[in-house]
């Protein structure tokens, strides 16, 4: 049993698959109750449907404004009785409406060591800046862009001959470990928030 999770995704869905796999292996005490996407052709929707998970395309263009669109997302999430919302390659900035009205905490995974390189193309930004260490961050979502409290981070080296693709692939391996780990800490009730500092109980 465990927690019920809503996943929002826009594309490939490899993080969704990693979460599904972790659940299958018993590494997350929970289940994915619903998958939502702003993109009709998102592979993430296909992955979910293949596994029998309810999955819906919610088209932002079909709504008068962003709040209406986000209200529809929240309707699905509330109906599915979720205790956690996970953004997994959801490529839109959540509005104040969604963040303010969400019935449960929201997590995101970002392909950079925040607070460095927020926004789009975190891996490319890191490469172009010339950092020697890169990685990924799982954080709670607030109203800012990639600015919420950090839950956990994983590092990878940046190599001299890296391209955006090779660095992204190295980071992705760590993303697939980091997200299930963070979700399981939440599911176990081990994340304690003190201001913007996240403490892991029982470490």
What are residue 110's DSSP bridge partners?
Answer: 137
Residue 36 in contact with ligand GAR, rule: CB under 6 A: no
Give the angle 32-38-40 at the CA atoms, nearest 5°: 95
Answer for which of 5, 13, 39, 135 binds ligand GAR (CB under 6 A) is: 13
Q: Encode 75-97: b = buried (16+ Cβ within 10 Å), e = exposed.
A: ebbeebebbbbbbbbbeeebeeb
Residue 15 in contact with ligand GAR, rule: CB under 6 A: yes
Residue 14 in contact with ligand GAR, rule: CB under 6 A: yes
Task: Give the span between the Cα atoms of 191 and 202, in whole angstroms.
Answer: 10
Residue 34 in contact with ligand GAR, rule: CB under 6 A: no
- Cβ atoms 163, 84 nearer than 8 A: no
Residue of minimal Cβ distance to ligand GAR: 89
Q: Show the site string, 120-159: x = touches ligand GAR by CB under 6 A, - = not.
A: --x-------------------------------------
Is 176 noted as a catalytic residue in this protein?
Answer: no
Min CB(201)–ligand GAR separation in Å: 26
Task: Give the span between the Cα atoms of 139 and 152, in whole angstroms.
Answer: 7
- DSSP H helix total and E strand total for the chain: 6, 9
Min CB(70)–ligand GAR separation in Å: 17
- Characterize the bridge pairing of strands 133-140 and 150-157: antiparallel
Residue 12 in contact with ligand GAR, rule: CB under 6 A: yes
Residue 5 in contact with ligand GAR, rule: CB under 6 A: no
Q: Choose the stretch contacting ligand GAR; rule: CB under 6 A; options: 12-20, 69-77, 155-163, 183-191.
A: 12-20
Residues that bind ligand GAR (CB under 6 A): 9, 11-15, 88-89, 109-111, 122, 172, 175
């Amino acid at each position: 049993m465990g927690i019920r999770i809503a996943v929002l995704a826009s594309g490939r869905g490899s993080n969704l698959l990693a979460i599904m796999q972790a659940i299958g292996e018993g590494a997350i005490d929970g289940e994915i109750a619903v998958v939502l996407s702003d993109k009709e052709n998102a592979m993430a929707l296909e992955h979910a449907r293949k596994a029998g998970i309810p999955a819906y395309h919610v088209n932002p263009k079909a709504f008068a404004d962003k709040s209406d669109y986000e209200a529809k997302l929240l309707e699905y999430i509330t109906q599915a009785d979720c205790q956690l919302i996970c953004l997994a390659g959801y490529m839109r900035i959540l509005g104040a409406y969604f963040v303010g009205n969400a019935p449960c905490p929201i997590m995101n995974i970002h392909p950079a060591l925040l607070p460095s390189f927020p926004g789009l193309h975190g891996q490319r930004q890191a490469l172009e800046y010339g950092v020697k260490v890169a990685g990924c961050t799982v954080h709670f979502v607030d109203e800012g862009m990639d600015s919420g409290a950090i839950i956990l981070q994983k590092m990878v080296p940046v190599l001299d001959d890296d391209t955006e693709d090779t660095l992204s692939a190295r980071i992705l391996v760590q993303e697939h470990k980091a997200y299930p780990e963070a979700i399981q800490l939440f599911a176990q009730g081990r994340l304690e928030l003190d201001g913007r500092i996240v403490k892991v109980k029982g470490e």
